[in-house]
Amino acid sequence: MSSIAQSDFAMSESRINEVTEMFTPLRSNITFTAGTRIFEENDKANDAYLIQKGYVEISRVTANEKKIEYLLGPGEIFGEIALLDGKTRTATAVAIHDTTVAPLTKQQIQSAIEGEDPLTQLLLHTAIRRLRKTLSKDDVDPNLTHLQTVGYGEYFQNTQKKAINYINRISSIQSAVSEQKFHLHYQPIIDLSTGFIKGFEALIRGPIDNPDLQRPDLFIPLAEDLGLIIPLGQWVLETAINGLIQLDAESAKLKLKNKVFMSVNVSAKQLEQVDVVENLAHTIEQSGFSEKRIKLEITETALLKQPDKAQSALNRLRQAGASIAIDDFGTGYSSLNYLHQFPLNTMKIDRSFISNIQTDQNRGRIVSAIINLAHDLGMDVVAEGIERKRELEWLERQNCEYAQGYYLDKPKTLVECIEMLKKAYY
Ligand code: G
Ligand code: G
Ligand code: MN
């Protein structure tokens, strides 16, 4: 046997430990018999513990005297302070009955904290720091100025910076939403068989007075976290409908036969609450646009989060007269299983599949297959992100109905779109 394979693939011991840790969500429970000292004051810390069964006494020694601080039972955590601040144990823990605990590793606790928003992280680290200081036996040096006492190391300073930045972003988006500072741009969607404009996608734009929130892919997720996407999404729908009314008026003047559709992006969060869906549905009904002139774009990830809720929301919106497009297809967890379960009319193939489609044969095969799949399921197809002539030419040879992208047109103001209708085709 050759040894090449082994040396090529050998991992260092520390890497193996790292990988094992990553894939071991919980270590197995440990049972301590009554009287066992689990750890002692000033020990180094490796784990915190969640008590499953039994009792643990937490004590500290001050002036040579042991003082019992707590008696902890099932469901309580101990050993978390040293684990969170990386210092030594503030107390001694002794099992006073036979006690079973689930060990929590530093990595688990850190990733739990890092999953929280920056403000929660700051609150938590601040609480731990204050607690550590309260428990500290060292007197604070009276000569320290306030500024020096809060000079807490790089990690904490980063946590502080992130929290300040987060608060500023929150207040920027809150005022932008309440003052309705947004506007919509519209990007044409072209019918590949005629070259005419078939519809537009409404895309939200700032201005938000914060350099970190200039693009919708930056401010939409924050608006979702804060629940602001609900009023914002309702405003987008109403504004896009007004846009469609004006486009129709212009089409009538120009005696254009074909009426355009309006695509509106809808976030998963807007589909979660029945009353929010009801408002959207009502707005669509009120607009009087039937024949699927309003298309709602929803990402596949949004549908899969809570499939049952999503399904009844989509049914309600279809009943109101909207058609439904699945957005960014191919980038989420493309579970093919759901495709036929939801009431979908249109598939929008993500732009990552389209770029250089002509030179990359495999990519071309995938897109062809996606187009056929969509058609078999009764959907029409929009290819997104056409940036080059050759991509458009390739798509024209496929049975893809519609295309959208910078090569055709960038998102533009309503006035510019009305001008575009006058030229009408490419
Ligand atoms: O152009 P663009 O940078 O606008 O959009 C970036 C992302 O933001 C896209 O994924 C798009 O779907 C999303 N987006 C744009 N406008 C809206 C909107 O009005 N509502 C929601 N929920 N998402 C939007
Ligand atoms: O996720 P959604 O499909 O809604 O996003 C549309 C986004 O794609 C918008 O941000 C829009 O500005 C952008 N977009 C539209 N056409 C093109 C294109 O040809 N190339 C690139 N890179 N982005 C595009
Ligand atoms: Mn979209």
Centre of ligand 2 to C-alpha 56, Å, is 57
Question: In whole angstroms, how far apart are CA 370 and each of 328, 329, 337, 350, 396?
Answer: 12, 9, 14, 11, 15
102 — phi, psi (to 5°)? -100, 120
On whether the CB atoms of residues 309 and 291 are closer than 8 A, the answer is: no
Question: In whole angstroms, how far apart are CA 355 and each of 116, 326, 363, 411?
Answer: 36, 19, 9, 18
| Residues making up the chain, counted from first to last | 426
Q: What is the DSSP letter of 296?
A: E
The pLDDT of residue 17 is 53
72 — phi, psi (to 5°)? -110, 145
pTM, two decimal places:
0.80
Q: Which residues surround ligand 3, an ion (CB under 5 A)?
A: 265, 297, 327
The pLDDT of residue 206 is 86
If one residue of 203, 219, 352 were mutated to test the ligand 2 pocket, choosing by the most ligand atoms within 8 A of its CB, it would be 203
Burial class (CB in 10 A: 0-12, 13-18, 19+), 111: exposed
Centre of ligand 2 to C-alpha 347, Å, is 15
Specify the ligand 1 atom closest to the Cα of 264: 19
Rounded Cα–Cα distance for residues 340 and 380 (Å): 14
- Nearest to residue 414, comparing CAs of 222, 242, 243, 160? 243
Nearest CA to ligand 1 atom 1: 203
Is the CB–ligand 2 distance for residue 327 below 6 Å? yes
Specify the ligand 2 atom closest to the Cα of 408: 19
Between the two ends of the chain, the Cα-to-Cα distance in Å is 65
User: Per-10-residue mean pLDDT for the chain, 426 residues long?
Assistant: 39 52 66 97 92 96 91 94 85 96 88 89 89 73 45 76 94 92 96 93 90 91 95 97 96 88 96 96 94 92 87 96 94 77 94 86 90 95 95 92 96 94 65
Rounded Cα–Cα distance for residues 235 and 238 (Å): 5
- Quote the distance between the C-alpha of residue 143 and its chain's center: 47
On whether the CB atoms of residues 192 and 380 are closer than 8 A, the answer is: no
